[in-house]
Amino acid sequence: MTRFAPWAANPERSKGRLHEEQSGSARGPRDPFQRDRDRIIHSISFRRLRHKTQVFLSPDGDHFRVRLTHSLEVAQIGRTIARALGLNEDLTEALCLAHDIGHPPFGHAGEEALKACLSAHGGFDHNGHTLRVLTLLDSPYPRWAGLNLTWETLEGLAKHNGPVAFPGWALAAADAQLPLALEQWPSLEAQVAALADDIAYDNHDIDDGLRAGLLTLDQLLAVPLVARGWAAVQARFPGIPPSRLLGELVRSQIGVMVNDLIAESRAAIGAAGVGSVDEVRAAGEPLIRFSPAMREEERALKRFMYANLYHHSNQRVAAEAAQGIVAGLFANYSDDPLSMPEEWRTTLPDAEPERSRHIADFIAGMTDRYAIRRYGDIAGPLCLPEGF
């Protein structure tokens, strides 16, 4: 008897890997999606996420999220939703853990800078770069480049934001290697990973924003979802000082969003009558979703967070400095490739666009602190603005 609902991705029916591998029990009794999850956890690019920006650049404070802790929180939320809906938890977890592996140093600021550096050579985006890292750059195996993940894991990462009409350079290259049906919706496991991502950062960014002193509770109460949650928390804990209730506010808001998503998605799956993952892909709409009311409230929360935290003046100044570092590294390595480490300079292609892409691959793999160090080697000691 199968352990999964009929609409779940079933490892026994995986479409397989680009390079055939011997099955067998030599590496433990694990199915293909468990092995993908484990490959990601053991990869160098996953470990580097511990020093990559989530919101706060190269944070000094040990309590702020970075891409690694964010990915772990996404995976926790994703597994909860997957289990409630009878989905494959291992595939969901693999997708949640890997979804940000393509992020360059300094988060969105670093991404914008690399996009500009590569504007004449196909651009840069972190989702496409995730595929490039996992299919080409991170290569721990003797016989092929990349982690040789299953089709389902690559599909889910390629379509993290749904069907892709116009794949960017890196995604198109991965799709040419192993066609990923980019025009279709991905599995429900991938759809869960995408919304678990939103639930995680909507909430942990509130927590970090308050901790950093860039957000205040009074400001946040202008957001209807938060105001309702705060009233409920206060009613449950009368007489407790507000500072002791902030953690409870964030915790309970995650629960409210997760419960809404599970109820709405269960109803959507039932109404669509899908009986297989192929029918999920052909459904023509996402079946993992918030209720219309929660979707509106979540969008309002995001608008608030962009205006008040992500684009806060402190953040903007720090982001400009980060962009200067990434652009400076790119310009330096373009002019003087010999200043790259041996493994990068000896494999540098002569012709464009491969040459610039190679330099961008090196920079995108850097952690925040490594990028700061390399830039310091080139430009001398750095005076970084507040917010770094």
With CB under 6 A as the contact rule, the residue among 185, 201, 330, 375 that binds ligand DGT is 201
Size of the site for ligand DGT (CB under 6 A): 14
Asked if 303 is part of the footprint of ligand DGT (rule: CB under 6 A), the reply reads no
Give the shortest CB-201-to-ligand DGT separation in angstroms.
Answer: 4
Tokens in use for 289? 């979703």
- For residue 362, count CB atoms less than 10 angstroms from its CB and return exposed for 0-12, middle for 13-18, buried for 19 or more: buried
The residue among 111 and 264 lying less far from ligand DGT, judged by its C-beta, is 111
> Which of 32, 59, 105, 107 touches ligand DGT by CB under 6 A?
107
Among 88-96, 100-108, 135-143, 256-264, the segment contacting ligand DGT (CB under 6 A): 100-108
- The yes or no reply on residue 37 touching ligand DGT (CB under 6 A) is no
Of 55 and 134, which has the nearer Cβ to ligand DGT? Answer: 55
Question: Which is nearer to ligand DGT, 32 or 107 (by Cβ)?
Answer: 107
Does residue 315 touch ligand DGT according to CB under 6 A? yes
Taking CB under 6 A as the rule, does residue 127 contact ligand DGT?
yes
- 55 touching ligand DGT, by CB under 6 A: yes
Near ligand DGT by CB under 6 A: residue from 10, 34, 54, 253: 54
Residue 253 as a binder of ligand DGT (CB under 6 A): the answer is no
| Rounded least distance, CB 196 to ligand DGT, Å | 11
Where do contacts with ligand DGT occur on this chain (CB under 6 A)? 54-55, 100, 107-108, 126-127, 160-161, 197, 201, 205, 310, 315
